[in-house]
């Protein structure tokens, strides 16, 4: 296996390998080298362990991740994958594991936090994908909509349905060859998400004999899922704004035996139930009660609340995340190939556009939207009513459309309208359409200019009432005159744009303070309405991770157009409110500041860091511009959300294409390519795509080490064979271990009903501990046993006897023999296992606790020289303690 790494003058990696598997390994290796800290944080976020690194501010997310069972869902989806896709994922995570320890030593954040990078299992990329998209759709909006309707009525609540900043979106457009200078299609777009540093997309090239693709990768996920160009076909997506996650109102109760039940259409049914601990750096740990009903994991409330809320979404139900589409996309040559690949797409639901060099085009929705009652799309529905259940295996038909000259999609109620509830008002869609309609001879440079357009999309909500005002004070009248003469562009250097933003913000603040909305101002902290929504009894607290979606202020900010419409809010005079806003701003002065002085980038970082040039320089654009550097009027003029990538794919030739990210290719602070793209991004420009290998710098060719689990103990036993102990690889050894522990003969091991996912989860948990260890025992290379050690002081056994310093507990499961069991097998094996345990000089005594019903295990302990101790009662068995001291073991060994 040889991997070749090249880079262009912006440090963008171009990876070459002999085949697709080697290339996946190379991509994982590069992700670890270039984005070590970033992918470590994402790994911890999906597992709900980030607060142990980042402190109390991260605990709210960890609690939600645990309750939503993200890691468990990812494991289920990985187990259900086809063998080829699982192997592809394994190659990627092998690459991550090969490079991450060394890369972590060079990333200052690891030293600052004292963190050691966690080992990746093959399912981790699926978990990162799930984590990134959990709040991507309308799930939090359903909570807002239900509570708002209860508090202020359906009509008033409906005014806030605008698909605002809390919903991820993007611009995308496609021009056919008849409209371009080259005669080949042009495809362009930009995803709008919360801006992170390092960025959420990584520019990348993946090349092997099967394919050669440039595009944007998601750090921690193999392939190029969203925006790519293979040379003959290119694709891009926008968020469809479809509704495909459901919330169910649950009635839960505790049972006398310590369990939990949930009321469903067929009465009370047992629910899965347990507790987990979220560790918090510098703070007290948080105990999380995890409950899952037949609908899904409970994400709001619990058994002690009048009602709770569970989440039902397709990956959890089907055990399919759609990852089989990712390697297929890399191999696409035509739009038909892209179309077929995306038939497997599941999460999230997107609008897909594609074009190929032969002139083919594609415009369709991808993903899965379950068929269910229409009310499910609007609000949490009663779990106990059968009419709200999903129709098993049924999914809505996915719309598609022909492309005639121009297709534009920007999260408006367009192609995907039958699948959703809330869409954006369509400002970007209308503006892009207006800029491109009728134009011909267009080039990639023309598309870059569209990306940079700053015309505000919805000034009429404020300027309309303003135009009709009279009798203003002199300073307010002067401000009115300026605003009515303003060109409507949110340019960084414009003082008029800043003045408009100030008046708009004042309108939003005044509206949010209106008495009509008083009941909505404390919604996030009031919690779920309990019991019958009509009685208003207090209910479960909303998770803190959802509070931003339940905040009134952003809802008002993005619904100004609706709220200021005459007669929309009873008792509100829009003109009077705008008058008050203009007079407030004029009296405060300072309107000579430019928009760029107010409008700067505020990216999210896991740890505080020095501001970048992109943060200290002013930004053009705003949330209703094509250049969607969004602010939240009335809350902040800073931009936390915007284009996290931009691209123009030219099907006449990839080297005529362009792309950009907000910061740079590398994720380590201080690296030359950490922030070198920021000036171009801020100005709305693109960097050229370079694919000529001769123009790239060859950085390295290497034969990477594939990290495996090396044997930790080897002993040649005369007349028996060579015995080795190798730490268990939870995913790699899953088939072997599951086959052993699921047999009836292994019933005392306690896992016969665990299933593959349960066994995987158990051994991954053991693998994460410093106090418990599991080993596959081999004789002459053949697996023959599973051996586990543990610190009794860190185990439930330690509560049942007086633990001594130097005690170590052991468990042994002998594998089922392939034929008749040869006499003397355990006699030949046991001395090696004992020698392994006592090879650690700190160990003074071996402790075993076989099940009292397991006569064979007790007999084996006696034959080995262990001395029986007292009976103990453990939660899952009654056991007999047995001990072997170091001195006795040494005497037996002679």
Residue 44 lies in a domain: no
Q: 499 with 403, same domain? A: no
State the pLDDT at residue 533. Answer: 44
Residue 478 lies in a domain: yes
DSSP type of residue 397: P
CA distance 330 to 207: 10
pLDDT surpassing 60 at residue 536? no
Give yes or no for a contact between 185 and 175, defined as CB atoms under 8 angstroms apart. yes
- Supply 439's token pair: 């134009």
For the chain, counts of helices (H) and of strands (E): 30, 35
Give yes or no for a contact between 384 and 251, defined as CB atoms under 8 angstroms apart. yes
Burial 837-873 (b: 16+ CB within 10 A, else e): bbeeeebebbbbbbbbebeebbebbeebbbeeeeebe
Average pLDDT over residues 381-396: 96
Q: Does 170 participate in catalysis according to the annotation?
A: yes
CA distance 349 to 237: 10
For residue 61, what is the enclosing H or E element?
Answer: helix 59-68
State the pLDDT at residue 653. Answer: 93
198 upstream amide cis, omega within 30 of 0: yes
Average pLDDT over residues 836-862: 90
The residue among 695, 730, 765 that closes a domain is 695
For residue 28, what is the enclosing H or E element?
Answer: helix 20-34
Q: 521 with 647, same domain? A: no
Pairing of strands 807-814, 845-848: parallel
* Angle of helix 855-864 versus helix 825-838 axis, rounded to 10: 70
Q: Residue 82, class by beta-carbon neighbours within 10 Å (0-12 exposed, 13-18 middle, 19+ buried)?
A: exposed
Give the Å distances, CA to CA, from 164 to 114, 159, 425, 511, 554.
38, 12, 9, 17, 8
Q: Where are the beta strands (DSSP E) in 144-232?
A: 169-175, 186-194, 202-208, 211-217, 227-229
pLDDT surpassing 90 at residue 656? yes
Tell me, letter by letter, the H, E, C secondary structure of 494-510. CHHHHHHHHHHHHHHHH
Task: Give the residue carrying structure tokens 């009279």.
Answer: 470
CA distance 410 to 457: 13
Residue 747 lies in a domain: yes
Rg (CA), the chain: 30
Average pLDDT over residues 272-289: 95
- Name which residue leads in pLDDT, 766 or 525: 766
Q: What confidence tens digit (pLDDT) does each residue in 560-598 have?
A: 999 999 998 988 999 999 999 999 999 988 667 899 999
Q: What confidence tens digit (pLDDT) does each residue in 454-465 have?
A: 999 989 999 999
CA distance 21 to 39: 21
Burial 876-894 (b: 16+ CB within 10 A, else e): eeebbbbbbbbebbeeeee
Number of neighbours of residue 752 by Cβ within 10 angstroms:
14
* Domain with 175 in it: 169-242+320-424+643-695
State the pLDDT at residue 57. Answer: 93
Lowest pLDDT segment from 123-132, 360-369, 608-617, 686-695: 608-617
Q: 150 with 195, same domain? A: no
Q: 375 with 465, same domain? A: no
State the pLDDT at residue 458. Answer: 85
* Angle of helix 444-451 versus helix 427-436 axis, rounded to 10: 150
Average pLDDT over residues 168-182: 91
The residue among 555, 573, 593 that closes a domain is 593
Lowest pLDDT segment from 555-559, 740-744, 751-755: 751-755
Does the pTM surpass 0.85? The reply is yes
State the pLDDT at residue 828. Answer: 84
Number of neighbours of residue 79 by Cβ within 10 angstroms:
16
> Catalytic pick from 170, 494, 639, 742?
170
- Beta-carbon contacts of 154 under 8 Å, excluding residues fewer than 6 positions away, are none
CATH code at 415? 3.60.20.10
pLDDT surpassing 50 at residue 534? no
774: left (phi over 0), alpha (psi -120 to 50) or beta: beta
CA distance 90 to 125: 10
Q: 159 with 174, same domain? A: no
In sequence order, which ranges of 361-491 are alpha helices (DSSP H)? 427-436, 444-451, 460-467, 474-485
Q: 813 with 776, same domain? A: yes
Q: 652 with 556, same domain? A: no
Give yes or no for a contact between 469 and 480, defined as CB atoms under 8 angstroms apart. yes
Q: 816 with 831, same domain? A: yes
CA distance 524 to 516: 17
- Beta-carbon contacts of 346 under 8 Å, excluding residues fewer than 6 positions away, are 314, 315, 318, 320, 321, 322, 367, 368
Residue 824 lies in a domain: yes
Residue 309 lies in a domain: no
State the pLDDT at residue 531. Answer: 40
pLDDT surpassing 50 at residue 606? yes
Which of 600, 129, 64 has the alpha carbon at shortest distance from 347?
A: 129
Average pLDDT over residues 783-808: 92
Which of 293, 309, 299, 286 has the alpha carbon at shortest distance from 259?
A: 293
Q: 734 with 822, same domain? A: yes
Helix (H, G, I), strand (E, B) or coil at 660: strand
Q: What confidence tens digit (pLDDT) does each residue in 232-246 have?
A: 999 999 999 999 999
Number of neighbours of residue 129 by Cβ within 10 angstroms:
26
DSSP type of residue 611: P
Number of domains making up the chain: 3
The torsion of the CA quartet 441, 444, 445, 450, rounded to 10 degrees, works out to: 90
Q: What are phi and psi of 8, to 5 degrees?
A: -90, -175
Q: What confidence tens digit (pLDDT) does each residue in 431-488 have?
A: 999 999 999 999 999 999 999 999 999 899 999 999 989 989 999 999 999 999 999 9
CA distance 343 to 365: 10
Give yes or no for a contact between 197 and 612, defined as CB atoms under 8 angstroms apart. yes
Give yes or no for a contact between 33 and 48, defined as CB atoms under 8 angstroms apart. no
Q: What is the mean pLDDT of the chain?
A: 91
pLDDT more than 70, % of the chain: 96
- Supply 753's token pair: 């009903």
Q: Angle at Cα 698 formed by Cα 697 and Cα 703, nearest 5°?
A: 160
Helix then strand then coil, % of the chain, to nearest 5:
35, 25, 40
pLDDT surpassing 50 at residue 535? no
Number of neighbours of residue 19 by Cβ within 10 angstroms:
13
- Supply 888's token pair: 């006795």
Average pLDDT over residues 22-40: 96
Average pLDDT over residues 280-302: 96
pLDDT surpassing 70 at residue 891? yes
Give the Å distances, CA to CA, from 309 to 73, 379, 391, 669.
18, 11, 20, 41
Number of neighbours of residue 685 by Cβ within 10 angstroms:
17
The residue among 695, 722, 757 that closes a domain is 695
State the pLDDT at residue 198. Answer: 93
Task: Give the residue carrying structure tokens 């599941």.
Answer: 346
Residue 177 lies in a domain: yes
Q: What confidence tens digit (pLDDT) does each residue in 768-789 have?
A: 888 999 999 999 999 999 999 9
Q: What confidence tens digit (pLDDT) does each residue in 126-153 have?
A: 999 999 999 887 788 899 889 888 888 8
State the pLDDT at residue 537. Answer: 45
Give yes or no for a contact between 780 and 722, defined as CB atoms under 8 angstroms apart. yes
Number of neighbours of residue 256 by Cβ within 10 angstroms:
5
CATH code at 729? 3.40.630.30
Pairing of strands 169-175, 186-194: antiparallel
Give yes or no for a contact between 678 and 684, defined as CB atoms under 8 angstroms apart. no
pLDDT surpassing 90 at residue 275? yes
State the pLDDT at residue 602. Answer: 92
Tell me the longest C-alpha to C-alpha distance in the chain.
Answer: 107
Average pLDDT over residues 288-299: 97
CA distance 626 to 636: 20
Q: 208 with 159, same domain? A: no
Give yes or no for a contact between 434 and 450, defined as CB atoms under 8 angstroms apart. no
State the pLDDT at residue 157. Answer: 85
Give yes or no for a contact between 44 and 52, defined as CB atoms under 8 angstroms apart. yes
Number of neighbours of residue 61 by Cβ within 10 angstroms:
22
Q: 682 with 736, same domain? A: no
In sequence order, which ranges of 285-415 are alpha helices (DSSP H)? 314-318, 325-330, 335-341
DSSP type of residue 663: S
Q: 233 with 362, same domain? A: yes
State the pLDDT at residue 826. Answer: 80
- Name which residue leads in pLDDT, 879 or 333: 333
Lowest pLDDT segment from 77-81, 332-336, 747-751: 747-751
Residue 577 lies in a domain: yes
Question: What is the band of 754 on the pLDDT scale with cuts at 50, 70, 90?
Answer: confident
Which of 758, 769, 795 has the alpha carbon at shortest distance from 876?
A: 795
Half-sphere exposure of 380 (CA within 13 A, CB side): 31
- Supply 638's token pair: 């800073």
Residue 123 lies in a domain: no
């Amino acid at each position: 296996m040889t991997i070749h790494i090249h880079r262009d003058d912006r440090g963008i990696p171009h990876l070459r390998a002999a085949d697709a598997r080697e290339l996946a390994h190379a991509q994982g290796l590069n992700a670890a080298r270039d984005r070590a800290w970033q992918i470590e944080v994402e790994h911890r976020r999906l597992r709900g362990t980030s607060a142990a690194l980042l402190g109390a501010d991260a605990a709210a997310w960890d609690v939600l991740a645990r309750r939503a069972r993200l890691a468990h869902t990812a494991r289920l989806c990985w187990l259900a994958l086809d063998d080829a896709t699982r192997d592809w994922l394994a190659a990627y995570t092998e690459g991550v594991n090969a490079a991450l320890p060394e890369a972590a030593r060079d990333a200052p954040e690891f030293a600052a936090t004292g963190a050691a990078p966690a080992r990746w299992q093959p399912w981790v990329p699926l978990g990162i994908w799930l984590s990134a998209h959990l709040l991507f759709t309308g799930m939090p909006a359903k909570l807002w909509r239900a509570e708002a309707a209860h508090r202020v009525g359906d009509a008033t609540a409906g005014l806030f349905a605008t698909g605002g900043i809390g919903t991820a979106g993007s611009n995308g457009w496609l021009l056919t060859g008849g409209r371009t200078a080259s005669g080949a299609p042009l495809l362009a777009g930009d995803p709008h998400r919360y801006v992170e540093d390092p960025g959420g997309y990584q520019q990348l090239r993946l090349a092997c004999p099967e394919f050669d693709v440039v595009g944007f990768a998601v750090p921690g996920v193999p392939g190029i899922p969203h925006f790519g160009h293979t040379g003959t076909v290119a694709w891009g997506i926008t968020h469809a704004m479809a509704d495909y996650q459901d919330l169910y109102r649950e009635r839960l109760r505790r049972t006398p035996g310590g369990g939990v039940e949930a009321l469903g259409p067929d009465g009370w049914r047992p629910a899965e139930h347990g507790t987990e601990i979220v560790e918090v750096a510098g703070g007290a740990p948080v105990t999380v009660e995890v409950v899952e009903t037949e609908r899904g994991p409970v994400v709001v409330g619990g058994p002690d609340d009048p009602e709770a809320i569970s989440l039902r979404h397709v990956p959890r139900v089907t055990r399919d995340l759609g990852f089989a589409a990712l390697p297929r996309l890399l191999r696409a040559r035509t739009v038909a190939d892209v179309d077929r690949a995306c038939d497997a797409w599941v999460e999230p639901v997107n609008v897909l556009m594609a074009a190929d060099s032969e002139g083919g085009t594609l415009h369709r929705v991808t993903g899965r939207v379950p068929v269910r009652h229409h009310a499910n799309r609007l609000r949490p529905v009663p779990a106990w009513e059968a009419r709200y259940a999903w129709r098993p295996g049924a999914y809505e038909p996915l719309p598609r459309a022909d492309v005639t000259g121009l297709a534009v999609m920007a999260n408006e109620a367009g192609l995907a309208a039958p699948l959703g509830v809330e869409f954006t008002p369509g400002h970007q869609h209308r503006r892009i359409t207006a800029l491109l309609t009728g134009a011909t001879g267009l080039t990639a440079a023309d598309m870059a200019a569209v990306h940079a357009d700053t015309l505000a999309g919805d000034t009429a909500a404020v300027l309309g009432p303003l135009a009709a005002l009279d009798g203003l004070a002199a300073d307010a009248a002067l401000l009115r005159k300026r605003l009515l003469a303003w060109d409507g562009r949110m340019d960084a250097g414009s003082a008029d744009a800043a003045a408009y933003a100030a008046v708009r913000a004042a309108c939003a603040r005044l509206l949010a303070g209106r008495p009509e909305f008083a009941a909505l101002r404390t919604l996030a902290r009031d919690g779920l309405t309990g019991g019958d929504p009509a009685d208003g009894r207090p209910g479960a607290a909303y998770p803190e991770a959802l509070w931003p979606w339940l905040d009134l202020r952003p809802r008002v900010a993005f619904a100004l157009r609706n709220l200021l419409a005459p007669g929309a809010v009873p008792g509100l005079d829009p003109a009077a409110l705008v008058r008050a806003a203009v007079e407030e701003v004029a009296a405060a002065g300072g309107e000579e500041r430019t928009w760029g002085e107010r409008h700067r980038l505020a990216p999210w970082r896991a740890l505080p860091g020095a501001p970048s040039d992109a943060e200290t320089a002013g930004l053009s654009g705003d949330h209703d511009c094509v250049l969607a550097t969004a602010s939240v009027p009335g809350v902040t003029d800073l931009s936390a959300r915007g284009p996290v990538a931009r691209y123009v794919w030219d099907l006449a030739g990839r080297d005529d294409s362009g792309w950009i990210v907000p910061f740079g290719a590398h994720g380590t602070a201080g690296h030359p390519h950490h922030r070198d793209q920021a000036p171009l991004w801020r100005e709305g420009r693109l960097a050229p795509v370079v694919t000529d290998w001769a123009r790239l710098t060859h950085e390295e060719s290497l034969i990477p080490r594939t990290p495996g689990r090396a044997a930790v103990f080897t002993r040649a036993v005369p007349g028996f064979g060579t015995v080795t102990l190798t730490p268990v690889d939870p995913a790699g050894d899953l088939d072997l271990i599951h086959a052993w522990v699921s047999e009836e003969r292994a019933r005392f091991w306690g896992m016969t009903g665990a299933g593959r996912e349960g066994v995987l989860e158990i051994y991954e948990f053991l693998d994460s501990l410093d106090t418990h260890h599991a080993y596959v025992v081999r004789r002459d290379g053949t697996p023959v046993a599973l051996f586990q050690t543990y610190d009794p002081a860190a185990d439930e056994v330690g509560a049942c006897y007086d633990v001594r310093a130097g005690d170590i507990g052991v468990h042994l499961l002998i594998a089922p023999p392939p034929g008749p069991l040869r006499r003397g097998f355990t006699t030949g094996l046991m001395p090696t296992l004992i020698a392994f345990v006592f090879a650690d000089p700190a160990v003074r005594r071996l402790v075993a606790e076989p099940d009292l019903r397991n006569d064979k295990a007790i007999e084996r302990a006696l034959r080995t020289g262990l001395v029986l101790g007292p009976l103990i009662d453990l939660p899952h068995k009654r056991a007999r303690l047995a001990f072997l001291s170091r001195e006795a073991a040494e005497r037996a060994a002679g």
